[in-house]
Structure 1
Amino acid sequence: MSEMQKPFVAKVVVHMGVGEAGERLVNAENIMADLTKGSKPIRSYAKNTLPAFGVRRGQPLGCKVTLRGEKAVTFLQTALKCYVVENVLHARQFDATGNFGFGIEEHTDFPGQAYDPKIGIYGMDIIAVIEKKGTRTARRKIQQKKLNSKLHVTREESMAFVTESFGIEVE
């Protein structure tokens, strides 16, 4: 397999949905900055108004961080150790384009995190985007081209990459 054909972790997106603004959201942002080693979280806002849940359009509901490069790989390794039971991920966690995601119920599962009754427990969703080198040609502004079919990451390639890189079995 050539260097262009090898998949890699393009980015990891970590999202915490709190459901309300205020102190809980600030606590979530502080926890996320701590977990991601200083990356600054940005807020995510409600797209629609849902009166049944007391949510208004434009109201801050959560926060997220996008990690790239070595920082993304290191965070993903730590998160997989916290999430994976018996070293197994399920095939349904992978989509058709090779990305995969999982959720962690408690931030206290991460090393160095302790339970604080004043803060509470926060869960998070983690999405890993797997790409091959050269996919930027489809996203760039100047001389944008269609992506060659060899550069698309399939579900099977992504599963093989996760097994090979992180030592995790995919069922």
Structure 2
Amino acid sequence: MTRLEKIYNEKVVPELAKEFGYKSSMQIPRFKSISLNIGLGEASQNHKLIDEAVDDLTRIACQKAVITRAKKSIAAFKLREGQPVGCRVTLRRDTMWDFYDKLVNFSLPRVRDFRGIPDRGFDGRGNFTLGLKEHSIFPEIDIDKVDSVKGMNVTIVTTATSDKESKMLLTLLGMPFKK
């Protein structure tokens, strides 16, 4: 059991149960998974970018990243069906908790001019998506070896049924939302 998982069980669960009045412990929102995604539109011309992105995402997530491919051909973007366009990885269990801990307590404070995360990333069903402009905020990435800065999306999938429950869960687990 990870450090953050212990905090969830000891402090967050009772706080959520008290706030929303859940009758069953199965109603209490929890994390299902965290999905990381790097989209590289310019990778259709340069395959080296995909390999770099897969290596970087694998180092960040501590789990092998998978290449995502185009579903349709789009002539305006010089894109054919099946061409690589990015990479992704889905984290569960201990690796999910470790990644969230690293994201909130170490990586986000390293963002230049950081004033908090806007809370408009909720989807209405209790999931939260966060866009990062630089993947180099993670400690696993050696900034000197980075050829091009890549953005990435972090999607936190929860069992919460509303955005209010999900925001409360993330806030209690240390997500630094803007005031």
- Structure 1, residues 60-86: CA drift from partner, whole Å, max 9, x if none? 111100000121122123223434633
C-alpha separation between the residues in 1 aligned to 2:48 and 2:119? 37
Distance 1:12 1:62 in 2: 17
2:51 is aligned with 1:26: yes
1:56-67 → structure 2 map (5 Å cutoff): 56-67=80-91
Aligned to 1:4: 26
Aligned with 2:73: secondary structure? coil
Distance 1:72 1:24 in 2: 26
State the partner residue of 1:42: 66
Q: Deviations over 1:33-66 (max 9, x none)?
A: 11112x1111111112111111111111111000
User: Which residue does the alignment assign to 2:3?
Assistant: none
Q: Are the structure 2 counterparts of residues 165 and 117 from structure 1 closer, same or farther at C-alpha, using a change threshold of 3 Å?
A: closer
1:162 is matched with which residue? 170
Question: Which of 17, 37, 47 lines up with 1:15 in the alignment?
Answer: 37
Q: Does structure 1 conserve the Cα–Cα contact (< 8 Å) formed by 2:117 and 2:176?
A: yes
Residue type at the aligned position of 2:32: A
- The alignment status of 1:127 with 2:155, answered yes or no, reads yes
Aligned to 1:142: none
Once residues 141 and 52 of structure 2 are traced to their aligned partners in structure 1, the CA distance between those partners, rounded to angstroms, is: 13
Could you tell me which of 133, 139, 151 is aligned with 1:105?
A: 133
Instruction: Supply the distance in 1 between the matched residues of 2:90 and 2:57 (Cα, whole angstroms).
Output: 11
> Which of 79, 87, 91 does residue 103 from structure 2 map onto?
79
Cα distance 1:46–1:64, how it changes in 2: closer, same or farther (>3 A)? same
TM-score (norm 1): 0.78
Distance 1:34 1:17, change over 3 A: same
Change (3 A) 1:73 1:63: same
Q: Percent identity?
A: 28
Aligned residues: 149
Q: Write the letter of the residue equivalent to 2:164.
A: E
Confirm or deny: 8 A CA contact 2:104 2:175 kept in the other structure: no
C-alpha contact 1:14 1:126 (8 A) present in aligned 2: yes
Question: 2:142 is matched by which residue type in structure 1?
Answer: A
**Do 1:103 and 1:126's aligned partners in 2 also have CA atoms closer than 8 Å?**
yes
Question: Matched residues in 2 for 1:160 and 1:118: separation?
Answer: 36
